[in-house]
Chain A
């Protein structure tokens, strides 16, 4: 039952919500029964258990009470505020002889009376609030909390983390590093035991995708299988961390957060030349730039004394937002929109809070006032920019002021990581403040033209007040982010990195550490990782290595029936997650395994195969992106992350696999499993061409044989097929060979895909093996991290 409570607390997606309701329903059944038997016993709340305000009570309040009795002063009902202890203890304004909370006495506490009442006239939350009533468990938790003294605690995420002690575990032989003690401790508490370590081939595929975003090769696998030394795995990890593709893999989620794209994003949505900033991100990860520098440069590189051009280029982060080119817009409306976008991006992506909720009114759940919001915007409000600089036009519109030119000298010197191949002038939008700061106002209801009080740059005191000795600009803001008392920055980053490897963060709502966010499943582990990360110089590669070296990460992904039943979401991490690859990596797998992959790093984005007419149908005809001019030659074989993103018509084969739209900052993609994805794997010319190319390359080496099938399997699935798999595939191969020997016409048609020119002359052989390869690409395991 305790476990179910955890489940309830940890559910948040609608899918989970459906489950949650069922869980609640089943709980109710049990409850009714228990009540009738024992009168008072409530599951999950036996008398000796201490109720935690933060982990048990506050989520209920936040979800069902704060909307009208929380931080938002304008929406507060009956003058009652429940998010602050002293306010909640006060006599009720409308009934001065009553109190919402009487510590120790639930039956005298109006709050308990109201939430447990069946009388719709009395019941809280009231019907017209459209909020669901409290469940029986929730009522019981509140009752017990009041009986135990109704003690409040500060929200966990707003208290700076302290490095906890490493917990004790029974199975001392399992842990490989500190992470494992925290994870195993929770497992043991809930009677789970870890899976075995994954087999070497699957483990290798996992780290290759996680660290480089590319499949392991049969040669790599061979080497790894043969290496009997104790540190074979670590050697492999170290080697992968040194690969340049590490930077590409790490950059990918950052591009979602930074809403990076190749077009301006509104209406005609013309071209923008922001890709050198993307090249910098890859470079920064490969150089293992520490996280504090990584962020400080992006937030305020231009304000660093004697800023280098690299540091200025990094500030392109805050110019990746959409910029309008629609003639006739009101300039100020859009300038304010950009300021708002930067504020929201930093809040969501770096601080993990939903600050944007306080744009129009005080935050309804978290202790951020509307004034706090505009104090944050003040840091971003003095940029030398306008709302509408230019309409759709030539190269002068590809970057907007303030901007920086990248010269030939830069390309040979400090910016040599920028992969520029032409001789055209290249400019990038970057940050630069005006000589005199703009006055920042609270905007009434968030409207750009309704100025309220003026405010100075500042940060919410509930997180950490802005130190008086910091400069009141973006550089000061960066200092504040990395102040060791800042409770969020380190936690949010380690959590997001965790999410990359395990599919869900220790805090599932990776962009919301506030009161409505999910609670951490392993709070001590989160804090330990956060403090450890900070103490070790914000070293990202070290953090990544720490995670992949853990026994937790190395487990097999097999899901036993018991674990599926008792921990379907894998909250206790007693197995490795099995996850479909992100959109870009699906493409990388296809290209790399077929030998077509072009390994060039960075540069202008590429226009690969895309169904005809998509851009043409959705344009007014203005600008160079009005029609889709597909690239040819090696450009179409670039990694998925270099696919050209026109924001208003993003590449469909990426979107169908849940790629970010880059419209706004996105911290977590959804992960769906749909028929349209099946159609892509079956019919996308990119997959067909890769099948052809691989077939051709295998046949080039010698005669057709079952060995070709096996090798194709090893390249795509990253392991040696078992006998049954080989049986199915060779049977199919034989059938196809027989067929195409007589049906040459079909074979000819089959191999007529893409721009690839096969050298194999035997069309029947080529087509037969190609179709076998198509089957392999369509195996679920091919695009899954197992």
Chain B
């Protein structure tokens, strides 16, 4: 019965689609979630065909490990020994070049340089410098590409985060994951194309906002769906107490029968869609907990990610879930780990944050690699801007803070056609300005889309008379880092 009903609904849609060349909004939304192939032949006037890449993709999926709050590049990947030597000396004006500062340090009388409390060592074949805070990530440097020359326009968290995720500081635009969902659709009919996972460290946090995974002006089917590793992994997924699967099935059959009658009376294709959406919901109820169940993971895997991966809501658990969701065809998985905003007490706070993320981040790369999935999965690790080379507030050797710094910061990317074992871009010896190969946020976004087979200038959506893009009016693919 259930299958029949679904088939019928599908046929109604297909038939109607072909016969009338039009369909309700919901039906199309349904199409992109359930049947990415349904609209395969159709195309936007702007030359964009939803569901089909513009060119052969290197990556099929993205896992974005967002380090929310902006980890300091100077204690992670950008090794600046000179700052230790010049400890306490004032930042020369010739280096600052009138850079605007946040209201938190613009009143400071001096800008004393401060070097990393943590030591740096070179690792792997590539000889990349990594701080001692990240012993696990140090071991995967030959699998990743460290970009030390990222820069952005915003100097505060909210606009900078929003800029990274939506291409616009003031929001109201679709998130990167929504664009990808719109561009490529879903690989798994029981899962959303764009999933979001949140965790938080003990460091000074800045919060995240659901507007960061908003669909903006795209249909809400492209909205990021928040997943968690608790009892209720997707909002409203869990049936109430006292209702088992059979009872739910029985109830849905009755609802389906009534809705079928309604459809006969009114002929509205939205009703057929509704019938189908209930069936999808029913399947999601079993499929999602099944996919998210970590109890079936082997001991080796638990060891790889660290035992924290069994504790719901931790970064490690989310990394493991990300792998599982990705493996099951989710296009874009967005993690946020909060707590990276070290205006003061940086050495201690960063140690905690690093401990939260180091092992699991590295494990994710190793895990994907051993499953042969790293080639087709693009993994990104990084925050929304960098931090100043001078101290904010009081300074001692083991206690200092760093303010926001948009002019340079470090992220890494791996898999999905990105050159492994590479360090890209250089900053000056003060770690303040970029001296080689700058990568703007829009360049980064263009590159991510490029790896997915999407031309960032062609992935457009006509809204209020304008063709909008993730990269707005800028962005160049960073070809140097492509393998």
Tell me the residues in window 515-565 of chain A with beta carbons closer than 8 Å to chain B beta carbons: 515-517, 557-561, 564-565
A773: shortest Cβ distance to chain B, in Å? 11
Contact indicator B239/A515 (Cβ below 8 Å)? no
Contact indicator B16/A564 (Cβ below 8 Å)? yes
Contact indicator A674/B221 (Cβ below 8 Å)? yes
> With A326-B156, A621-B205, A724-B261 as given contacts, are A771 and B47 in contact (CB-CB < 8 Å)?
no
Of A24, A354, A656, A747, which one neighbours B242 at CB under 8 angstroms?
A: A747
Contact indicator B25/A354 (Cβ below 8 Å)? no
Bound Cα distance A746, B246 (Å):
13
> With A648-B210, A673-B270 as given contacts, are A330 and B103 in contact (CB-CB < 8 Å)?
yes
> With A648-B209, A780-B259 as given contacts, are A673 and B42 in contact (CB-CB < 8 Å)?
no
A505: shortest Cβ distance to chain B, in Å? 14
- The answer to whether A682 has its CB under 8 Å from any CB of chain B is yes
Residues of A near B209 (CB, < 8 A) are 267, 269, 618, 647-649
Q: State which of A280-288, A394-402, A663-671 sits at the interface with chain B.
A: A663-671
Q: Which of under 10, 10 to 19, 20 to 34, or 35 or more describes the interface residues of B?
A: 35 or more
Residues of A near B200 (CB, < 8 A) are 617
Bound Cα distance A267, B242 (Å):
40
Contact indicator A267/B236 (Cβ below 8 Å)? no
Contact indicator A675/B465 (Cβ below 8 Å)? no
Of B39, B102, B262, which one neighbours A18 at CB under 8 angstroms?
A: B39
B341: shortest Cβ distance to chain A, in Å? 8
Residues of A near B157 (CB, < 8 A) are 267, 326
- The answer to whether A620 has its CB under 8 Å from any CB of chain B is yes
- The answer to whether B73 has its CB under 8 Å from any CB of chain A is no
Contact indicator A509/B262 (Cβ below 8 Å)? no
Contact indicator A675/B462 (Cβ below 8 Å)? no
Of A267, A561, A566, A682, which one neighbours B281 at CB under 8 angstroms?
A: A682
Q: State which of B28-36, B124-132, B296-304, B351-359 sits at the interface with chain A.
A: B28-36
Contact indicator A21/B102 (Cβ below 8 Å)? no
Tell me the residues in window 268-318 of chain B with beta carbons closer than 8 Å to chain A beta carbons: 268-271, 273-275, 277-278, 280-281, 284-285
Of A130, A614, A672, A771, which one neighbours B25 at CB under 8 angstroms?
A: A672
Q: State which of A8-16, A416-424, A596-604 sits at the interface with chain B.
A: A8-16
Residues of B near A327 (CB, < 8 A) are 103-104
Residues of B near A779 (CB, < 8 A) are 255, 258-259, 262
- The answer to whether A786 has its CB under 8 Å from any CB of chain B is yes
Contact indicator A786/B266 (Cβ below 8 Å)? yes
- The answer to whether B158 has its CB under 8 Å from any CB of chain A is yes
Contact indicator B21/A19 (Cβ below 8 Å)? yes
Residues of B near A661 (CB, < 8 A) are 172, 211, 214
- The answer to whether A22 has its CB under 8 Å from any CB of chain B is yes
Bound Cα distance A1, B263 (Å):
30
Residues of A near B280 (CB, < 8 A) are 675, 678
Contact indicator B45/A682 (Cβ below 8 Å)? no
- The answer to whether B466 has its CB under 8 Å from any CB of chain A is yes
- The answer to whether B44 has its CB under 8 Å from any CB of chain A is yes
Q: Which of under 10, 10 to 19, 20 to 34, or 35 or more describes the interface residues of A?
A: 35 or more
Contact with A along B315-348 (1 / 0, CB 8 A): 0000000000000000000000010000000000
Closest to A13 in B: B25
Bound Cα distance A74, B482 (Å):
34
Of A330, A558, A673, which one neighbours B265 at CB under 8 angstroms?
A: A558
Contact indicator A749/B42 (Cβ below 8 Å)? no
Residues of B near A557 (CB, < 8 A) are 266, 268
B173: shortest Cβ distance to chain A, in Å? 10
Contact indicator A564/B21 (Cβ below 8 Å)? no
A727: shortest Cβ distance to chain B, in Å? 10
Residues of B near A672 (CB, < 8 A) are 25-26, 29, 219-221
Contact indicator A674/B33 (Cβ below 8 Å)? yes
B228: shortest Cβ distance to chain A, in Å? 8
- The answer to whether A221 has its CB under 8 Å from any CB of chain B is no
Contact with A along B205-235 (1 / 0, CB 8 A): 1111111001000111101011010001011
- The answer to whether A372 has its CB under 8 Å from any CB of chain B is no
Contact with B along A644-662 (1 / 0, CB 8 A): 0001111011011010010
Contact indicator A26/B251 (Cβ below 8 Å)? no
> With A14-B44, A514-B465, A569-B22 as given contacts, are A673 and B274 in contact (CB-CB < 8 Å)?
yes
A330: shortest Cβ distance to chain B, in Å? 6
Residues of A near B103 (CB, < 8 A) are 327-331, 388
Q: What are 12 residue pairs bridging A and B, where the CB atoms are less than 8 Å apart in the complex?
A: A22-B41, A268-B207, A558-B266, A568-B20, A578-B266, A620-B207, A655-B210, A676-B236, A767-B242, A774-B251, A780-B271, A780-B275
Chain A to chain B: the 6 pairs with minimum beta-carbon distance, closest first: A673-B26, A516-B465, A749-B242, A648-B209, A568-B22, A328-B102
Given A14-B462, A749-B240, A778-B251, output 20 extra A-B contacts at Cβ < 8 Å.
A12-B462, A15-B23, A17-B46, A130-B458, A267-B206, A328-B103, A328-B404, A559-B267, A647-B209, A650-B210, A675-B281, A676-B236, A677-B277, A679-B281, A682-B248, A746-B243, A775-B251, A779-B255, A779-B259, A781-B262
